[in-house]
């Protein structure tokens, strides 16, 4: 019975570590997305399509110089 209890504890410890890792990764992703949103607001764009369009336009301007 103690062996089974140990296995259950190990599984729980692994689950807790996995949950903590997921939470850390989610916090990192949230930080990156918030930073991206702030950058987009600073640049005056609201969609990925606008970002791509601005990039294309800048490439064209630089190529024609």
Q: How confident is the model over 39-51, as pLDDT tens digits?
A: 999 999 999 999 9
Q: What angle do CA 24, 28, 34 make, to 5 degrees?
A: 140
What is the three-state SS of 5-24?
HHHHHHHHHHHHHHHHHHHH
- Looking up tokens 């991206």 gives 36
Count CA within 13 A, CB hemisphere, residue 22. Answer: 6
Residue 15: predicted pLDDT: 85
pLDDT in tens, 25-34: 999 999 999 9
Average pLDDT over residues 8-12: 63
Residues in the chain: 65
Predicted model pTM: 0.64
């Amino acid at each position: 019975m103690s062996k089974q209890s140990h296995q259950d504890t190990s599984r729980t410890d692994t689950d807790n570590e996995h949950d903590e890792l997921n939470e850390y990764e989610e916090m990192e992703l949230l930080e990156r997305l918030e930073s991206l949103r702030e950058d987009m607001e600073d640049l005056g764009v609201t969609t990925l399509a606008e970002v791509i369009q601005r990039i294309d336009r800048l490439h064209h301007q630089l190529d024609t110089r």
